[in-house]
Amino acid sequence: MELFIGVDGGGTKTEAVVINNRGKVLSRYSGSSTNPYVVTFDGAMLELMSVLDKVIKPLASPIPEATIKSICLGMSGVNTTEEKDNVISSLRAYQEQRGLSFPISMTNEAIISLMASLGREYGILVISGTGSNTYGITKKGEQYRVGGWGHILGDEGSGYQIGLLSLKTVIKSLEGMLPPTSMTKRITDAYDFEHISELKAYVYKSSIGRSDIAAFARYCVEAAKDGDVVAHNILRDQARELAETTIALIGRHPELRETEVVCTGSIFKHSAVFQDCFREFLLSRFPDLSFPLGRKDLNPADGAALLARKRYAVDN
């Protein structure tokens, strides 16, 4: 049996999948972040090795060397040639330690996500999860990116920005600068606060990070679903911000004006308001774009595994 490994390494979690030559998933495992800018390079590599050990463990052991034919990784925070070479060097050392040897392919989150959704490697990918990013890839493989500057310098239309704006909004509501919002009660109930003023002590804890702030986006999404105008405006404004980022991306190449746009990430998944506003803003500028649903049963790690299989087949 030929096996192919796909890895989707993110700033919050890392997922690995093993498929056979027919595309059947044999093993799946999720670990924590493998973004070097989030957990340091050494921390990222330790977690990556742990994830690989755990996704391989359910398979027959020991695994014959010839069984694993290829691995493909799409990892956030790993973009330059030097960064990719460093990851590959670490994987070579891992293979030597485990008595394995197979081709290693490094790509990015855009290509593996497009492969999972559309079964191909070109189009536009817009991500709105904890962070945000936009990628455009032409049929010839030319790659463009706008965004991805992180929560301090960018991340427009991300869970982090929506969460942060939600927190600021409930404080402004408390002080009478904005109308009352149901987000206040949702947050006090969820965090067992007696009063929303306890929010200050919580958010300024040294342990509170980017993902903790992004977690508050859910209360904005829920409130908007129930008709909260203040929450709706946050989502609409952030959808516009992300649309403007995407418009800048589309300006990089004429082919991107009439291609397919894949929208992925937790905010797109859970907020119809955000998704509808984003599409509205984008189509007002580029009416020839399309938004295919794509495959919902595959995620980026599956796309990476399918790409590992495809590239191995092409190379041989």
pLDDT digits (tens, 9 = 90+) for 212-252: 999 999 999 999 999 999 999 999 999 999 999 999 999 99
Cβ–Cβ < 8 Å for 70, 103? yes
Given pLDDT bands bounded at 50, 70 and 90, which one contains residue 68?
confident
Tell me: do 197 and 238 sit in the same domain: yes
| 52-61, 203-212, 267-276: range with lowest mean pLDDT | 52-61
- Residue 134 and residue 124 in contact, taking contact as beta carbons nearer than 8 Å: yes
Task: Identify whether residues 90 and 219 lie together within a single domain.
Answer: no
Same-domain pairing of 71 and 141: no
pLDDT recorded at residue 64: 57
Same domain, yes or no, for 132 and 66?
no
**pLDDT (tens digit per residue) in 268-277:** 999 999 999 9
User: 284 and 144, same structural domain?
Assistant: yes
The 10 Å CB-count burial string (b at 16+, else e) for 32-43 is bbbbbebbebee
Q: Say what the pLDDT of residue 66 is.
A: 55
Q: What is the CATH number of the domain that holds 133?
A: 3.30.420.40
Same domain, 213 and 238: yes
CA angle, 126 then 187 then 241, to 5°: 25
Mean pLDDT of 193-197: 96
Location of structure tokens 């191909």: 120
Q: How many residues does the chain have?
A: 316
Same domain, 48 and 112: yes
* 147, 179: one domain: yes
Tell me the C-alpha distance between 18 and 54, whole Å: 11
Please indicate, yes or no, whether residues 175 and 69 belong to a single structural domain of this protein: no
* Total domains in the fold of the chain: 2
Percent over 70 (pLDDT), the chain: 96
Q: Which residues pair with 70 in a beta bridge?
A: 4
Report how far residue 35's alpha carbon sits from residue 26's, in angstroms, rounded to the nearest whole number: 25
For residue 10, give its domain range. 3-118+297-315
